Each structure stands twice: as structure tokens, then as C-alpha cells.
Structure 1
Amino acid sequence: MSAASAASGTRPRVAVTLGDPAGVGPELIAKLLSVPETAQAADIVLISDETELRDAGKDASTTIEYATEPTPGLPLLLDNSAERPVEVFERKTATEAGGRWAMSNLLRALELAKRGEVDAIVFAPLNKYALHLAGMREKDELRWFEIVLGAEDYTSELNILPNLWTARVTSHVSLAEVSAGITRQNVGAASRLLDKVLREAGIEAPRIGVCALNPHAGESGKFGRHEIDIISPAIGDLTADGIDATGPFPSDTIFLRAQAGDFDGILTMYHDQGQIAMKLMGFDGGVTVQGGLPVPICTPAHGTAFEIVGKGIANTGSIRNAFDLAVRIGARRKAAAAN
């Protein structure tokens, strides 16, 4: 059965996978689907199998309601049991089998997106070590998504709290490699991506603050010239193109300004420059968007949380926000494509 047949009207179609089976992902999805408003917001396509859904319900002390044929008000299960590598997955640890299962479900979701049968994808937390055990050669899932989807535009992970978004110029690289990745072109491309996705999420005139790379924004070149030679010229390019970007600001104070409401988004130069602040500001509600891809892909900003698997206490704030954001962006893109 085609996932496209599950769609109704202008409601977005959202593919959902349960992430790494060793972690809290199955519990999170079960809790998400137990809320009636979830199925009311979108046509949901679950990519899993009945065994995983049953076990997920046990973790969450609920029962996942779904259908195997398009049924109004119920998620549609696209059974992927033919790809299940083992009958029972080991929990609370990264395994090759768990990585294979997570990748196979995601691959099916990506194939649906390539055929235009879903408008967005939401996946529960993955474990990068398990993915690499399963054969993923790329550094992270975003680079894998790029290859599978044939993405040609600039891509970057974006991290989101309810009132603040961040994007990165460099991401999953060592600190020793960061400096080489800070170029005028990369700063501009990352800022333009952040501006675009903010607009897709409904912010009509995004205000972007740009981080410095060096302490004290370089102290007029005493601590490095990246701000003078690279970042400031890139901001000038953005301003000339009509993007509201300002900076560079020292990274030890820019998030205080964001908390005061000065910015809708912050561009950081490397992974932890933004992630530490974002997780301190809202760990239980953070969302990661795989920005720049042909289809919006959203996931919680936290990991698989092996230490609490099976306890039924996983917080649903991030998965709820990830789903809501995927619905919002998916609906706007669907409406735009129809016009």
C-alpha cells in the first residue's frame, strides 16, 4: 500500500521511525502516539513492525493504535519486518543489529520522501556508534541523508528551542579542524540556511546573531583575525542580500542577548559553542533539524539515554517539539508546492 494513499487534503504526511531499539526511542514514540492530538495534526506513516510497536507500548505502559490499511485518525504501519535482523534486540547498549534496524527504517522513510509520498520525517534518537557498526561510513546521519536523497544544497544541523534556533558553520569535526572550516563562503551559506528554515517555520523577518570564533571576538586581532578577515565580511555579504545578520559577538555573551529576545537565531562556528548553551537552556525540549535537505527531517536533540531504558520515565518534550516542527514545516512546503 502506498503511503500517498494515507494522505487527506492539505494535511502533511509525516513518516515516523522509532530510532535505535536499544534506547528510549520506542518509548518516546509510543507516548507521542498515545496523545490524540498527534494523529489529528498529520497523516502519520509508521515504519516499523508489529513486534517493535508492541514492545514500545510496554515500555510506555500504553498501547499504540495503528492500522495496516489507510484508516482516518490512525497511523498507517508500513511493515518493515522483512528487514528485521534479529528477533529480540539487546537493550541499553549499541549493537550492529540495532544500528541495522534503525538504518533500514530510516532508509524506507527516505525512499518515501524521494517519491513525494511523505512531506516530513521524524526519527527517535539514534546511536552513532551502532550506525557505524552497521556499516554507515559517513561521520553522521546528516551526511548519509545527503547521499541517499541526492542533496546538492548546503546542509547543516540546526538546533532549536521554542524561541531560539542555532546553526553551525562546522559540526562533527575535531576542534583541530574547526579553523580551516571557517571560511567566508561557509559562514554565508550557514547563515542563509538558518534564515531560510526560520522563514519556513513561520518567522517572517528572522534576526540572526553571529558568533565570533575567538575569545573576546578576537580583541581587534590580538587573539586571531577570523572575525576581521572572514566573519565580518561574510556578515556584510548577508546584509547586502537583505538578511538581518549582526555580529560577530563573543560567544560567552551572545546567548544572554538571545535570552533577552534580541535574536531569533544564532550562527555558531563549531558544535559545542552552541550546543552547551542550548542544552543548558532547554535540554528536555530541544530539537535537531537536518537543514538543507529536500525534505524536513526532525529529531530530539538528546540521545538514546540507555541509562533510563525500560523505566517508563523518558521525557517527551523534545519528541513532541520535533513532531510539531516537522508538521509545521511539512505543511508550509506542501502548501507552497500546491500554489
Structure 2
Amino acid sequence: MGDAAGISPELTARVLADAEVRAAAAITVIGDARVLAEGARVAGVTLDIDTGEGRPGERPSLRDLGHCDPAAVPLGQVSEAGGRFATANFRRALAMAAAGEADAVCFTPFNKAAMRLVTPDYEDEIGFTAEAIGFRGVAKEFNILEGLWNARVTSHVPLKDVAGLLSREAILENLRLTAGALRAAGVARPRIAVAALNPHAGDGGNFGREEIDVIGPAVEAGKAEQIGCDGPYPADTVFVRAKRGDFDAVLTMYHDQGQIAMKLIGFEAGVTLLGGFPFPICTAAHGTAYDIAGRGIAHPGAMRNAVLLAARMAVSGASRR
């Protein structure tokens, strides 16, 4: 369960009440029974929860940490209480997956400001996960709609630093990771479009040379490794082609270059995947929506898609093992 001050309790309850989700995975909820009960009340659903270990299609089980009285969390506000609840739940879920007690992790939305009240150096979920499980490899964030993925070379960095962080190896590394994540999700032969950095893909060097000196060579190196990639394509048109089915994924150079397009295409359906870890970690691509917390109107589509994707990837990972 994510931040108790937002829509996370409601979304948790709505997802647990979904028969297709229950059929897809044996779900263990980590949180507080009181917060979950409040989420069910807000959502207007009745939950059938077990305290044992279930199987797909059976009742979800609850690990009640007993650590959050919902009355003590100010609804719709950044708070230490909300951040502490989410942090403890996430850490416990990651420990379970790292120990082989779970095949995948999903979380309802966090608020980074609330998390930082508990963990001052908290940057994002990737860094937190790596620290929590002692991971030393490469992991990246993907945004996913049905039939369309977005990966990015740089993420939570100032825009002024992006060009200096691009390199042939960084782009090639992301192409490898993107192709692997797509295959794990069931795409047998991934097709990846690589976005340019500059307007009109640099216009032959008139608007910048990153496409000529860095991005283009990285794409050719990917092709040499049998990765199905092409580009660089102008960023203002590449998503039009991807949306009509020309590509399975778009690798963008910075955060908003892909996020804006993906959220315009399907804000209420988008999933965020943390790929590259030993197990899939998924969540909704939107945030805690403090402005509608407690109103019973949160749309569960993205969170539902997140759990179903995690289940598919977990099955794929288990078959490989």
C-alpha cells in the first residue's frame, strides 16, 4: 500500500475487488488493516481477505503491520505519517521478493516529498530499491500503455544537464534493457524507435550534433547486436508512428520528452515498470492525487494494469528460472 494520505488505500481496495486481478496472481497486501478498511469504505467495495498464503483465484492475504492509524494521517496532504507508512510497506515488499517469497512487487502511488520526510536522501524508487536489496546492476523506469512502451536515457535530472549525460554507451545500455524488458513481457521481437534530442533531429547538425555524434552511432551499435531499433527520429512525430503500431517502444532522451506524450495518450491507463531488477516492480503511472483523496472517484485502470503486467512478467521470469 502506498501513501495513506492520497488515493492509494482506495486504489488498493478497488484492485483487490477485481476478479480478473485476483485470478492472475496470488496477492499479498502489505500495510495496515485499518487503512485498507478505510480504503474499502471510500471505494464502496466489500473485501474478502485472508491471513494465510493464497493461490491465484483465491482470496488475497494481508500482512498487517499495524503501523498506521488512518485517523492520524492528514488526508490530501504531504505528511511524515503518509511517507512512513509507504516506506515501511515498500521495504517489506522488496525484502519478500528478494528472499524469493514473492515473484513481483506492485505499489499504489507514493509521494516523493512525503518519502523524503522519512528518508531525506530519497531520490526515487529505483535508488530506494537498489539500496534496500543491495542491487548493483542497471535498472530503469519504463512507462507503459497497452501496446506502447516508453523508456528514457536520463530521468530525474535537470533539463540543463541532459545533453552532457548522453553517451553512446548510455543509449546502447538502455536499448539492451528495453529489449530485454519487452521480451520478458511477451514481445518476441521488440521494435524500438529512438527519439532525437534536438528539434527536427538536429536538422543535419544545424540545431545540434548529438544526433550525429552520439545517438545515431548508438543506434547502429544496437543494430549490430541484433536489437530491433531505428532512429533517431524527431521527437514531435515519433509517438504518432508508435501509437499507430510502427514500434513497440520509444526510447527518449529525457523525462518529459516521453512522459508528456504517454500521459496525453492514456493518463488513466499508464503503468510504470522498474525494469532491470531481479523481479518486476510495477505501479500506476500517476501520482497520489491528493486533490481527490477520500472522495471515492479514483480511477483504478492504471493500477489494475500494473498488477496484471507484473503477473505476466512474473510468470515469464519463473519460466526462465
Q: TM-score, normalised by structure 1?
A: 0.92
For residue 311 of structure 2, what is the aligned residue in structure 1? 327
For residue 47 of structure 1, what is the aligned residue in structure 2? 30
For residue 59 of structure 2, what is the aligned residue in structure 1? 74
Answer whether contact 1:212 1:247 (CA < 8 A) is retained.
yes
Please list, as runs of the form range in 1=range in 2, the aligned pairs for 1:162-311 lying within 5 A after superposition.
162-311=146-295
For residue 43 of structure 2, what is the aligned residue in structure 1? 60
Q: SS of the residue aligned with 2:236? A: coil
Q: Residue type of the partner of 2:31?
A: S
Q: Residue type of the partner of 1:78?
A: R
Q: Residue type of the partner of 2:141?
A: E
Quote the Cα distance in structure 1 between the aligned partners of 2:269 and 2:54.
31
72, 78, 91: which one aligns with 1:94: 78
Q: Residue type of the partner of 2:28?
A: V
Q: How many angstroms does 1:153 deviate by?
A: 2.2
For residue 145 of structure 1, what is the aligned residue in structure 2? 129
Answer whether contact 1:136 1:144 (CA < 8 A) is retained.
no
Structure 1: give runs of 5+ residues left out of the alignment: 1-17
Identity, % of aligned positions: 46
Quote the Cα distance in structure 1 between the aligned partners of 2:69 and 2:160.
38
Aligned in 2, Cα 1:142/1:71: closer, same or farther, shift over 3 Å? closer
The structure 1 segments of at least 4 consecutive aligned residues displaced by more than 4 Å after TM superposition are: none
Q: SS of the residue aligned with 1:66? A: coil
Quote the Cα distance in structure 1 between the aligned partners of 2:213 and 2:122.
31
Answer whether contact 1:85 1:97 (CA < 8 A) is retained.
no
Q: How many angstroms does 1:86 deviate by?
A: 7.5
Quote the Cα distance in structure 1 between the aligned partners of 2:30 and 2:307.
15
Quote the Cα distance in structure 2 between the aligned partners of 1:239 and 1:136.
42
Moved more, 106-115 or 63-72: 63-72
Q: TM-score, normalised by structure 2?
A: 0.97
Structure 2: give runs of 5+ residues left out of the alignment: none
For residue 11 of structure 1, what is the aligned residue in structure 2? none
Q: How many angstroms does 1:41 deviate by?
A: 1.3
Quote the Cα distance in structure 1 between the aligned partners of 2:133 and 2:164.
27
Answer whether contact 2:115 2:122 (CA < 8 A) is retained.
no
Q: What's the RMSD between the two structures over aligned residues?
A: 1.3
Quote the Cα distance in structure 1 between the aligned partners of 2:226 and 2:120.
39
Quote the Cα distance in structure 1 between the aligned partners of 2:291 and 2:71.
23
Quote the Cα distance in structure 2 between the aligned partners of 1:89 and 1:27.
15
Q: SS of the residue aligned with 1:91? A: coil
For residue 107 of structure 2, what is the aligned residue in structure 1? 123
For residue 9 of structure 2, what is the aligned residue in structure 1? 26
Q: How many angstroms does 1:138 deviate by?
A: 3.2
